[in-house]
Structure 1
């Protein structure tokens, strides 16, 4: 309810300001007929003139929220003219204090101080001319003026404090949304890399095995049977990894199934054997002292080797051979996967999602990947993954 009322007041500021100041306006206009005070020049203020002057002083107050400085200046100038003509004080002169409060509550400190000083000066001028300067009366009336001025300053400070809280809340919400979008984009990219590596490798192996089976089905049925068995095994492996990825996507805070762990360095020998069974001879060597690596880095190493061998299967051509060398050093792990095939058609830095996935995976751990055709023929991928303090 209060929220709807606040929203309605923001849509109708002039109406709200008029309703807020209406008690003051009614009081001043009703007392205008008692304001026929004699002037110091001997003239007499009629009730009609006092009523008109009161309306002139009070009318600007209805727009004090949108134009507080202009309203205060207008009322102050009318009051100054009233003082210069020697007219008596009216109840409508309270409009000066209302306008001063509006300036103090809505403008900067400089304008608030200026409005307070003008109101005090007006009080001093009025008392000196019509009531004779009396320090005690001036002090008591100044306390009243200063209290209204301080109330305006307090409201201004409170308003700015609430605005800062709202701004910080909106900024925090915006930052939270941005972080959520960034996290979602990173997760989509990670899943895209995983899907590409899983599908591209396993499907490439299945295609090679299927081609071999089609050629050998007549001349060598046993070889064709082994190829079909390899297709079946590779397909099951692909389905298992796809199931693991889909399971990760479907996990929530409730029941979670147990899925196979991510492949790592220990599974590289099985990967090389699988690709070798597909008809690609591979020399697999490990140099240096193997060390325990985080699961994330092990997955990066596995996927880079997998993607490089998949590219060799697709682009190396018949009779190609591959070499996989993993070197453990003090600064990290260096992967070198090369082949003597026809080489990929893409130049370094271009190509499909596979090379891009290699670059992204290595970059996540501060590593680098250099991939491109070899001068003597074939293709080579060199990846450097820092570990420990180097990472």
Structure 2
């Protein structure tokens, strides 16, 4: 807006370009008396009338002005309009390349030499030659500076626009990544807890007449699982709000919470054994969350798809460089293909979501049937670049 206001206060370019020729014509009419005015006016017009088009065709205008100046030298008339040659040289330097500037400067300097040889007082050639040469050099240098400054400002503006586009792209990528992370978290939380609640509900219905005590315990476990699901959802969504107290009271789950997870799976009807080797204190929080979600998803798939009587085993090995995760079950057959999402399902669910989590730590997830029966999921998370990608 400020630039528009500044442009509004300046004269239009055609008016400004025509102002100098008009002033020079008025000057020659005032300062020259008869019989010179017809020749002086004609030469002045030839020198200055091309100048209004100097921005659009700098080389052509310079050629026309130089030709008029040469005719002026042949006729032997000195005019104030000779300044038009400097203006044309400045325009060539400001709007053309180095080669054109050097050529135009050489032409003007040749004219300076001819003019000084003809009109300089006898014995005083050097002072006017040096003075006019300095003026020619100044005009060329000013034009080159204008061209350089214009190119620099254009480069700065282009770079600023490019940086702005890159920032917008980065913001869009960050938003998409955050949406993917939230979708993955919600899938893991909802799928796991609903699967446990469904299994516990079936167990409660089965035992409500034969063993009311066991049915009551299952119902209490269902209630606790629902509360845990709500807590996990609030905790995951709480990081989107600044100053959310619930996220601080309930830190993200990790390797330390795997024991509670396996106990929950046992209560839901999937006997699960947990083995954790090595200290996990040095493991970053995001990597610990990744381990927890991988184990949670693998056990949830086993609970949903494996037949009754199946048992699972979770092995986690922590070292200073990596974390190895293995989840296996002893089912008589591998889980059906429903463990992987259908082609129409959105990305980030089931096995694709597990692979994304593992890939964040340069891990390759392996999932498939075991030689002796059952199903296995294993991966190795590298900690050298821990935190490079959000889990």
Q: TM-score, length-normalised on structure 2?
A: 0.83
Distance 2:53 2:234 in 1: 67
Indicate which of 178, 186, 192 corresponds to 2:177.
186
Equivalent in the alignment of 1:155:
146
Partner residue in 1 for 2:105: 116
Q: CA deviation digits over 1:145-195, x for unaligned, max 9?
A: 222222222323333333333333333333333333333233222222222
Q: Superposition pairs for residues 51-66 of structure 1, below 5 Å?
A: 51-66=41-56
Say yes or no: does 1:335 pair with 2:325: yes
Tell whether the 8 Å contact from 1:289 to 1:329 is kept in structure 2 after alignment.
yes
Residue aligning to 1:280: 270
Report what 2:345 is aligned to: none
Distance of 1:61 and 1:348 partners within structure 2: 80
- DSSP 3-state at the match of 1:271: helix
Q: 1: CA distance between counterparts of 2:99 and 2:72?
A: 27
Q: CA deviation at 1:343?
A: 2.6
Residues 131/37 of structure 1: CA separation in 2 closer, same or farther (3 Å cut):
farther
Q: What value does the CA root-mean-square deviation take over the aligned residues?
A: 3.2
1:41 corresponding residue in structure 2: none
Equivalences for residues 309-320 of structure 1 within 5 A = 309-320=299-310
2:21 corresponding residue in structure 1: 25
Q: Equivalent residue of 2:239, what SS?
A: helix
- Give the CA deviation at 1:267: 0.7
Cα 1:16–1:132 change in 2 (3 A) is farther
Q: 1:56 to 1:348 in 2, by over 3 A?
A: farther
Q: Structure 1, unaligned stretches of length 5 or more?
A: 39-43
CA contact (8 A) 1:35 1:45 kept: no
Q: 1:54 and 1:201 mapped to 2: Cα distance?
A: 92
Quote the Cα distance in structure 2 between the aligned partners of 1:255 and 1:343. 42
TM-score, normalised via structure 1 length:
0.83
Cα-to-partner distance string for 1:115-166 (whole Å, 9 max, x where unaligned): 2222212222334355578232222222222222222223233333333333
By how many angstroms is 1:275 displaced?
A: 1.0
Deviates more, 1:301-310 or 1:220-229: 220-229
1:247 pairs with 2:247: no
Cα contact 1:263–1:298 (8 A) shared by 2: yes
| Partner-residue secondary structure (3-state), 1:318 | coil
Deviation at 1:17, TM superposition (A): 2.9
- What aligned pairs does 1:1-391 form with structure 2 within 5 A after superposition? 2-6=2-6, 16-33=12-29, 47=38, 50-83=40-73, 86=75, 88-129=77-118, 134-251=125-242, 258-286=248-276, 288-292=277-281, 293-329=283-319, 331-341=321-331, 342-346=333-337, 353-387=349-383
User: Counterparts of 1:206 and 1:274 in 2: how far apart (Å)?
Assistant: 10
Instruction: Output the CA distance in 2 between the equivalents of 1:36 and 1:309.
Output: 105
Q: How many residues align?
A: 377
